[in-house]
Structures are given as structure tokens and as C-alpha cells.
Amino acid sequence: MIEAFKNGVDIHREVASKVFNKKLEEVTSEERSRAKAVNFGIVYGISDFGLGEQIKVPRKVAKEYIEEYLRKYSGIKEYMDKNNEEAKEKGYVTTMFGRRRNMPELKSQNFMIRQFGSRAALNMPIQGTAADIMKLAMIEVQKQIEERKLKTKLVLQIHDELLLEVPKEEEEEVKKMLKTSMEQVTTLSVPLVAEVSVASDWYGCK
């Protein structure tokens, strides 16, 4: 999976080719869509029932998708198991940058609360690290704006996006600065890739 990211391969199509045992070019749009649901679902600790409901397939089929995914990407299964064990032992999980979330839910007498805790313990280090990276990127972008004495304003952060208001004369400089700031804010085992679009309103940027 790391190699796919490094080579700029469509990760959902890559996963579909592994799960459905097909060549990359033979993967259909429906299979890619199902693989995408598995990719994101695994992060949230999705059940075979939940996945089946989401992609409209029988629970048994959804179970096979999840099992095949975890078999082909065994490192992810190892991460999930290790993460769960450490969360129970320590009582908390952390992001890559050390931000902590306590996990009292894992010791609850209520089964449903424990299940929620297990999903949260799996999800938080991933989503939390992404959130940390965005905050670091915001700091870097604002620093660049101030150092360059630009009139550009950082307006909003929406999930994995930053929205800026930019004078026309600063457009090209800010496009380059924004992309560089977001892509080089930290180093991972895979490249961080940022896309920049320009429009007269937010809707037009989509």
C-alpha cells in the first residue's frame, strides 16, 4: 500500500485489484467504489453488517471483503490488533505527534460502549494525526503570509482543506506557497500531496 501511494496509484483501485483478484486496469467503477468503502470503513472499525448495508451486498459477502482485505494487507491487521491491546493496557491512544485521548470506554461494563471505545481507539490515531498535520499546515501558511507581507488571508479550515482569500496579484505566489507548505509540513513514509484550485467563490473551487 505504501508503494501504491509512493507511485501515485489510485489507492482505491489498487485495493480493489487486490481484494477482487483482478488486474488494475480490469477493476470496474463499482468495484473501486466498494473498495473505497472498505478502505474508509476499516479505519472506523466497520462491521460486516455495516459494510453490507453501506454497499448493498449480503453480510456474508461484506465479511469476505473485509477478511480478504486484512489478509492481503496483513500489516493493517497487525496495527489494529496492536493498537487495541495498547489502548486497553495504557488507557489512552495518541497521535503521531503525541496528542492523547483517554479511553475510559474500553473499561465500561456496557458492551456497546466498549465497542465504541474500540472503534475510537483505532480511528483517533489516524484521524487525529491528520488533524494535527492540518493545524501545523495552518501555522506554516500563516507564517509565510506574514513573512512575505502578503495581503492574502487564511479564512477557514474545512476537514483537509484550507480556504484563503487572495488578491489577484498574489495568486501565483500563494498557489506555490500553499502547496509547498502543506506538502512539506511533516515527513511520512508516503508523500503528502496537496491540490490547489482557484475560483471567485468557494463553490467554484470544488
126 in any annotated domain: no
Task: Give the pTM.
Answer: 0.85
Report how many domains make up the chain.
2
Tell whether the model's pLDDT for residue 130 goes beyond 90: yes
- What per-residue confidence (pLDDT) applies to 72? 86
Across 168-190, b (16+ Cβ under 10 Å) vs e yields: eebeeebeebbeebbeebeeeee
98 in any annotated domain: no
12 in any annotated domain: yes
Here the CATH number for the domain that contains residue 177 is: 3.30.70.370
6 in any annotated domain: yes
Inter-residue contact 54 to 40 (CB < 8 Å): no
Average confidence score pLDDT of the chain: 92
pLDDT tens digits, residue range 19-49?
Answer: 888 898 899 999 999 899 988 888 777 888 8
Inter-residue contact 150 to 173 (CB < 8 Å): yes
157 in any annotated domain: yes
DSSP SS3 for 102: strand
155 in any annotated domain: yes
Residue 11 one-letter amino acid = I
| The domain boundary residue, chosen from 72, 97, 112 | 72
- What per-residue confidence (pLDDT) applies to 12? 92
pLDDT tens digits, residue range 140-164?
Answer: 999 999 999 999 999 999 989 999 9
How many residues does the structure list for the chain?
Answer: 206
Higher pLDDT, 169 or 52: 169
pLDDT tens digits, residue range 53-92?
Answer: 888 889 998 898 888 888 888 888 888 889 889 999 999 9
Nearest one of 157, 119, 148, 109 to 42, comparing CA atoms: 119
Q: Residue 91 region, left (φ>0) first, then alpha (ψ -120 to 50), else beta?
A: left
Cα 50 to the center of its chain, rounded Å? 19
**Rounded distance between C-alpha atoms, residue 125 and residue 114, angstroms:** 18
- What per-residue confidence (pLDDT) applies to 142? 97
> Which range marks the domain in which residue 193 is found?
132-205
Inter-residue contact 52 to 59 (CB < 8 Å): yes
| The domain boundary residue, chosen from 72, 91, 124 | 72
DSSP SS3 for 161: strand
Tell whether the model's pLDDT for residue 1 goes beyond 80: yes
113 in any annotated domain: no
Tell whether the model's pLDDT for residue 198 goes beyond 90: yes
189 in any annotated domain: yes
Tell me the three cell numbers of residue 185: 509540513
| The domain boundary residue, chosen from 36, 56, 72 | 72
